[in-house]
Structure 1
């Protein structure tokens, strides 16, 4: 299933807000001032453009998290160059100091990014699940009149090259209510 431009733009807008918001929050939490307006606008535009380009289809959690990490590194460097705090992602090892605060900052950034990436991946999965269900139901609704008229309902589905015709899955059966008793026996004798 491919995403058309309105869906791509909506998904990239959500990704941009979350990604840039996380970068600004991390930048401020690290003791930096807010990024310059030009850096914020440029970073937002760049993330939106890149996210729109890759939002053509459902993406795996690995892709979403990888893209989020890459965008966080780029935004961090951009915000640092705009006059905020120094670059806590760059690890310097001074003689006798060890890795110190630089490593702690990298771990904090990476933890927040991984948690946010997992959250975005769950949303992506839920969105595509809903879209697939809506598409299947709409297609099944269109196929009934075609079947009554003697048409082939599978003609509405795109066919992959080199494969036979696709068959429509039957609509899901209505499940019994979870708390109903489905077994029944003879009535109990009345107590007098």
Structure 2
């Protein structure tokens, strides 16, 4: 992505610089060729410079991100030395013993009954 962008910028800048020169100066100095027609040497030089700059920018970006990552890690380490975090020791979990089985208030030999209390019915003989 960098290489085509740089090549386009090189062409635009070359055209702008060529248009900025006046033709009277070129003819007075003996240059009869138009300013927009590049020579082979100039094309090779521009292509080499574009490739070199693209490589430099691509590697420079990777180097910059690597440097920023290392600086962030180093800053974090320094901040941990200056402001240490509290150490949280594991808390011992104490388990309560099983509670004893609850006992009823009623005596163990009593039989539970439902309904009204039992009354004895006497038979009257007449």
TM-score (norm 2): 0.48
Larger Rg: 2
Higher relative contact order (CA 8 A, sep 6+): 2
Structure ranking higher in helix proportion = 1
